[in-house]
């Protein structure tokens, strides 16, 4: 199985696609996933490092454990006033 990755807003525009699929083997956490995506290429590592993250629709940090079938969304920080 795999982990489903979705990109939103300016992150999606910069990457040029809505998402990716990453084999779950060897990807134990959100931090591991960020590293795997940056290493794979085609993803701005700096933008990805600053991006907020949600795992299965709940905010998560880099220590969040991942498993087969999880959906991970990355989106830029949101500001407002």
What is the arithmetic mean of pLDDT over 10-16? Answer: 88
Q: Return all residues near 1 (Cβ < 8 A) that are at least 6 apart.
A: 24, 68, 69
**Could you state, in order of their start, the residue ranges of all structural domains in the chain?**
2-75
Q: Return all residues near 77 (Cβ < 8 A) that are at least 6 apart.
A: 50, 51, 52
The whole-number pLDDT of residue 41 equals: 76
Could you read off the pLDDT of 28-79 as tens digits, one per residue?
A: 999 999 999 988 877 778 888 999 999 999 999 999 999 999 999 999 987 7
Residue 80 has pLDDT above 90, yes or no: no
Residue 2, Cβ neighbours under 10 Å: how many? 14
The whole-number pLDDT of residue 8 equals: 94
The whole-number pLDDT of residue 46 equals: 85
* CATH 3.20.20.10 assigned to 2-75: no
What is the arithmetic mean of pLDDT over 1-19? Answer: 91
């Amino acid at each position: 199985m795999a982990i489903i990755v979705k990109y939103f807003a300016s992150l999606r525009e910069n990457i040029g696609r809505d998402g990716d699929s990453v084999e779950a083997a060897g990807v134990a956490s959100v931090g591991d996933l960020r590293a795997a995506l940056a290493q794979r290429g085609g993803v701005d590592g700096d933008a990805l490092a600053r991006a907020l993250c949600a795992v299965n629709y709940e905010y998560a940090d880099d220590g969040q454990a991942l498993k087969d079938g999880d959906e991970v969304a990355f989106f830029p920080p949101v500001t407002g006033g």
